[in-house]
């Protein structure tokens, strides 16, 4: 007689138990839900609610009017140029910080991050003092014989594009620095011993390894720059309207809550798209070994 085999019992996946330490995040989640998520939902609700009930008139005005399309374009242009300027200034600074040692590193850290302790309003006013007709820059050019009379620099796009990258480089430096300090310098030496040129070592070794930090820095700076309000207002005024400036005028001057909320929703969509895209790119880079 053949032995009968007993049926195998069904195996059910075990339920993962909640880590008690996860409950420590509950107060923070509750606080953010009350002070951030709830007002945000109310703002989005205002964008689709008019005197007669549900309406998309605010979005039609924002996305169907050439003026507001130009405002959105101004904000995107400002964000891109500011991000590019911050990257040009911040990328080598991050390497200098990562490779410096001792007192030199402390001094470099102070030079890069102490400006964060100064209000953006103060820094923007400082640029206004430098660029006005009786400012330092005009005074220097007059005394050097480069110009015969003061040049108008404040309230120009040049002033805006000079001042904005000055505000945001620390937000580019920190993510790149955190990645660079983890890179073994011997990678470049190994590539050099194999005959790689400096340009080849940078483009094929150093740059791919620093891509996660670049992606994080670019997303952070762009999200901050595209929604900037104080610096464009002080350095350019109404000659260069951005989404945040339109929002402020809609809420404070025009009392047009739907227009301001619709523009805020568009700005939120742009910032969220950048952050989500950066997160997906970082995950892909991590999956492929940091871009190497």
DSSP string, 37-86: IHHHHHHHHHHTEETTEE--HHHHHHHH-HHHHHHHHHHHHHHHHHHHHH
Encoded tokens for 102: 């001792």
More confident residue, 10 or 216: 216
Displacement of CA 169 from its chain's centroid (Å): 10
Encoded tokens for 277: 């895209």
pLDDT for residue 99: 86
Q: What is the C-alpha to C-alpha distance for residues 240 and 269, in angstroms, rounded to an integer?
A: 21
Residue 120 near residue 230 (C-beta atoms within 8 A): yes
Residues 84, 88, 271, 241, Cα dihedral to 10°: -50
pTM score: 0.81
User: Can you give the residue ranges of every domain in the chain?
Assistant: 38-118+155-287
Q: What is the pLDDT of residues 195-231, one digit of tens each?
A: 888 888 888 888 888 998 999 999 999 999 998 898 8
Encoded tokens for 13: 């996946």
Q: Above pLDDT 90, what percent of the chain?
A: 25
Q: What is the pLDDT of residues 83-131, one digit of tens each?
A: 999 999 999 999 999 888 888 888 888 888 787 788 888 888 888 888 8
Q: What is the C-alpha to C-alpha distance for residues 74 and 240, in angstroms, rounded to an integer?
A: 7
Query: How confident is residue 16, by pLDDT bands cut at 50, 70 and 90?
Result: low
Q: From 267, 258, 247, 272, select the one nearest 60 (Cα to Cα).
A: 258
pLDDT (mean) for 65-72: 93
Residue 284 near residue 212 (C-beta atoms within 8 A): no
9-36 residues labelled b (16+ CB within 10 A) or e (exposed): eeeeeeeeeeeeeeeeeeeeeeeeeeee
Q: Which fold has domain 38-118+155-287?
A: MetI-like fold (1.10.3720)
Q: Above pLDDT 70, what percent of the chain?
A: 92
């Amino acid at each position: 007689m053949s032995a009968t085999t007993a049926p195998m019992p069904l195996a059910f996946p075990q339920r993962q138990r909640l880590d008690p330490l996860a409950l420590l995040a509950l107060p923070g989640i509750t606080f953010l839900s009350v002070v951030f998520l709830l007002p945000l939902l109310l703002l989005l609700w205002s964008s689709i609610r008019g005197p007669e009930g549900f309406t998309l008139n605010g979005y039609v005005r924002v996305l169907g009017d050439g003026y507001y399309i130009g405002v959105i374009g101004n904000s995107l242009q400002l964000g891109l140029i500011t991000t590019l300027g911050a990257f040009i200034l911040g990328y080598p600074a991050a390497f200098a910080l990562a490779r410096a040692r001792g007192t030199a590193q402390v001094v470099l850290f102070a030079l890069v991050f102490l400006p964060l302790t100064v209000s953006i309003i103060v820094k923007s006013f400082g640029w206004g003092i430098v660029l006005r007709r009786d400012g330092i820059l005009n005074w220097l050019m007059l005394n050097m014989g480069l110009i015969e009379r003061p040049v108008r620099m404040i309230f120009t796009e040049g002033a805006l594009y000079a001042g904005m990258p000055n505000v945001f480089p620390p937000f580019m430096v920190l993510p790149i620095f955190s990645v660079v300090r983890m890179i073994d310098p011997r990678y470049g030496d190994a590539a050099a011993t194999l005959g790689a040129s400096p340009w080849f070592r940078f483009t094929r070794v150093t740059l791919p390894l620093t891509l996660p930090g670049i992606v994080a820095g670019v997303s952070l700076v762009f999200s901050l720059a595209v929604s900037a309000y104080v610096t464009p207002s002080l350095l350019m005024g109404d000659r260069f309207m951005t989404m945040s400036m339109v929002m402020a005028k809609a809420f404070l001057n025009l009392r047009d809550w739907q227009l301001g909320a619709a523009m805020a929703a568009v700005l939120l969509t742009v910032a969220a798209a950048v952050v989500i895209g950066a997160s997906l790119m970082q995950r892909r880079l991590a999956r492929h070994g940091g871009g190497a």
